[in-house]
Structure 1
Amino acid sequence: MAHLPVHVPLAAFSRDQRIEGVHYGSLAATAPDGSLLFGAGDPATPFYPRSSLKPFQAVAMVLAGLDLPEHLLALAAASHSGGAAHRAGAVEILRRHGLGIDALRNTRDLPYGVAEREEWLRAGGAADRICQNCSGKHAAMVGTCTLNDWPLESYLDPGHPLQQLVARTVTALTGEEPAQWSTDGCGTPLPALSLTAMARGYGRMAGLAAGTEADDDVEAAAAVVARAMMRNPEMVAGEGRDVTALMRGLPGALAKDGFEGVQLIGLPDGRGVAVKISDGGDRARMPVAVRTLLSLGVDVSGVDGLASPPILGGGMVRGTLTALESAFPDHLSTEQNREDNP
């Protein structure tokens, strides 16, 4: 039988002062040097980071020569909502490399955003590769292949030169060899990594974007990708999306979500946060992540609305979804966290 992670209660939602449900999960908060400051649940067991891997994949593509305007590079690391700007951006990435939509091998889907999906359907649209939330990444991947004279048809194969470069880049940024590989929903190779490793990678990227001196080409490329995402948060997700709101409300933070309840955040001082909700519930990842930031002493007043979304009944607020205080340490400085977690 597969190993079961030892998840713990991280968040609960109430209705009229009665707990109606509990979300279990795990989290990791890392120091600028990549060590674990504190965690909950099972931060060491490898999991699939899903779309939170995209910034690392984009770093590999920059290393391979991908050169895009910042808003398009942000789209290459995005799980976008499928709005007009996102669709046009993916097409533009292809056009810049002499390619068309037929070069893409991602799955077909409707736009991810609710408003964007409704607009697309009203216009008579159907599931399409350019609408799928990973189309920016796939457009950048085939563009990178064109730049390097790598095969296009097989760009999703784990043995392809691009995917081999991604694998090396992931290890370089996280400091961890993947425990195994699978395939993501869009078709790209997907490594299993610990929450601690993922938090370490995001903290590293955010710190480099904030001015930490790069020691090598990987770190230089990581700074370029992180800055592009921070400066274009609407391309990383979309209007009304919590990841976009977090990067707007916390300047200098790098944020990316992933399917199955995954949330990653990097801070400009090099600290990182990784959250995995065990049931895959999307609604709990951001309240848990914001509460983790609070334990790190981060001023989260700019993202108050993400910390405890309301529970409605008959159109009225009848409760909230909040992180459970028992899962978190008090507000501690980095030095205090080090002392408590040697």
Structure 2
Amino acid sequence: MSTNRGSLHCDVPKPIQALPAFLSDIITKYGLTEEEATLLTASHRGEEYHIVALESMLKKLPIKEEELFCPPSYPLNANPRDAMLRKRLEKRRLYHNCAGKHMGFLTVCREMGFPTEGYWEIHHPLQQQILTILSELSNVPVSDIKVGTDGCGVPVFAIPLKNMAITYLKLSSPELIDNSDLKRAVKRMTGLMNKHPRIVASEKFICTTLLEYSNIVAKGGAQGVYCFGLKKERLGFALKVANGSEDVWPNIIASILEQINYSNSDTINRLRELKPAIIKNDGGVEVGSIREVFTLSRI
């Protein structure tokens, strides 16, 4: 399903880029814990449990931090970022929200015999593998997939919104995937995302909130893109907020679930708590409200 026209092209969230790692043997070979493996799919927020797991991965994997192409950064969450600033700590590549993904990229390259130099270039065999995986999951020919550059420097792939919904339908219902190896990799990856949801983002963020329910596979992308799939209902959804905002994701998804009469009201209630509809000013006075005015359409 889609909340907008199927022709709109949207970028692909991280789990697709993590699948080469789950198709390989690196998780078992290097003894990654479940939390560490989940970081391959994450937009980590720099909380202590994220950094501890990332530091542990650096010790286990055959890579060095300076090899990561993602730029040095501070954590996304305010508390860990401010704590590091107070201690006058410098930015690190490990603190970038895409660090786990890049660690997976580098390790897969070494495991597959791909060059590590230029792993961020579109013609690199790793990026071509990701492109092929996306094509298979989304039902979009490789030649029709748009290519841009992500904030962390690697290629970002764009496909029509309806095909993003198809992709997340398959992630939540891997029995629909014909390729047996890819099917197993998807099951393993999404199972870890559900088992360790706070690793994917952090507490009080929409990805974590949704993934806490085993029926849901979900992940946000850049510029207002959000995708999720419902296992029991066999439904996939994709949306893009036109101005690129992430603030109203909870409101939109809560409305989608209400419109399909989703059976788990607790999911909807928790989404509503993340982003209350009533807007108040600094003095606590109600000054406005958020209302969803779209009607869901089946594509």
Q: Please say if residues 288 and 322 of structure 1, whose CA atoms lie closer than 8 Å, have aligned partners that are also in contact.
A: no
* Equivalenced residues, count: 287
> Are 2:161 and 1:201 equivalent residues in the alignment?
no
Aligned to 2:290: 321
Aligned to 2:135: 171
* Deviation, structure 1 residue 203: 1.7
Q: Please say if residues 108 and 132 of structure 1, whose CA atoms lie closer than 8 Å, have aligned partners that are also in contact.
A: yes
After alignment, is 40-49 or 284-293 more displaced?
Answer: 40-49
Q: Give the Cα separation in 2 of the matches to 1:328 and 1:284.
A: 16
Q: Give the Cα separation in 1 of the matches to 2:179 and 2:121.
A: 30
Aligned to 2:35: 71
Q: Please say if residues 91 and 139 of structure 1, whose CA atoms lie closer than 8 Å, have aligned partners that are also in contact.
A: no
CA 1:158–1:214 in structure 2 vs 1: closer, same or farther (change >3 Å)?
Answer: same
TM-score, length-scaled by structure 2:
0.88
Q: Give the Cα separation in 1 of the matches to 2:140 and 2:265.
A: 30
Q: Give the Cα separation in 2 of the matches to 1:162 and 1:61.
A: 10
1:122-175 superposed Cα distances (whole Å, 9 cap, x missing partner): 222232211110001011111111212221122111111211111111111111
Q: Please say if residues 94 and 140 of structure 1, whose CA atoms lie closer than 8 Å, have aligned partners that are also in contact.
A: no
Q: Please say if residues 273 and 289 of structure 1, whose CA atoms lie closer than 8 Å, have aligned partners that are also in contact.
A: no
- Secondary structure of the equivalent of 2:73? coil
Q: Give the Cα separation in 2 of the matches to 1:138 and 1:190.
A: 13
Specify which of 130, 149, 152 is matched with residue 183 of structure 1. Answer: 149
Structure 2 stretches of 5 or more lacking a match? Answer: none
- Report the AA paired with residue 24 of structure 2: A
Specify which of 242, 259, 268 is matched with residue 222 of structure 2. Answer: 259
Structure 1 stretches of 5 or more lacking a match? Answer: 1-28, 30-38, 330-336
* Deviation, structure 1 residue 225: 0.8
After alignment, is 148-157 or 292-301 more displaced?
Answer: 292-301
Q: Give the Cα separation in 2 of the matches to 1:213 and 1:43.
A: 22
Q: Give the Cα separation in 2 of the matches to 1:179 and 1:144.
A: 23
- Secondary structure of the equivalent of 2:11? coil
TM-score, length-scaled by structure 1:
0.78
Q: Give the Cα separation in 2 of the matches to 1:315 and 1:273.
A: 38
Question: More strand by proportion, 1 or 2?
Answer: 1
Give 1:108-123 correspondences, 5 Å limit.
108-123=72-87
Aligned to 1:146: 110
1:172-230 superposed Cα distances (whole Å, 9 cap, x missing partner): 1111134321110001111111111111111211123xx77875211111111111111
Aligned to 1:82: 46
Q: Give the Cα separation in 2 of the matches to 1:224 and 1:148.
A: 20
Aligned to 1:44: 7
Question: More helix by proportion, 1 or 2?
Answer: 2
In angstroms, what is the RMSD of aligned CA positions? 2.1
* Deviation, structure 1 residue 315: 4.2
* Deviation, structure 1 residue 306: 2.1
Specify which of 249, 262, 269 is matched with residue 304 of structure 1. Answer: 269
CA 1:144–1:92 in structure 2 vs 1: closer, same or farther (change >3 Å)?
Answer: farther
Aligned to 2:60: 96
- Report the AA paired with residue 126 of structure 1: E
* Deviation, structure 1 residue 251: 2.9
* Deviation, structure 1 residue 320: 3.2
Q: Please say if residues 76 and 136 of structure 1, whose CA atoms lie closer than 8 Å, have aligned partners that are also in contact.
A: yes
Q: Provide the identity percentage.
A: 25
Aligned to 1:4: none
CA 1:317–1:243 in structure 2 vs 1: closer, same or farther (change >3 Å)?
Answer: farther
- Secondary structure of the equivalent of 1:118? helix
Q: Give the Cα separation in 2 of the matches to 1:120 and 1:43.
A: 43
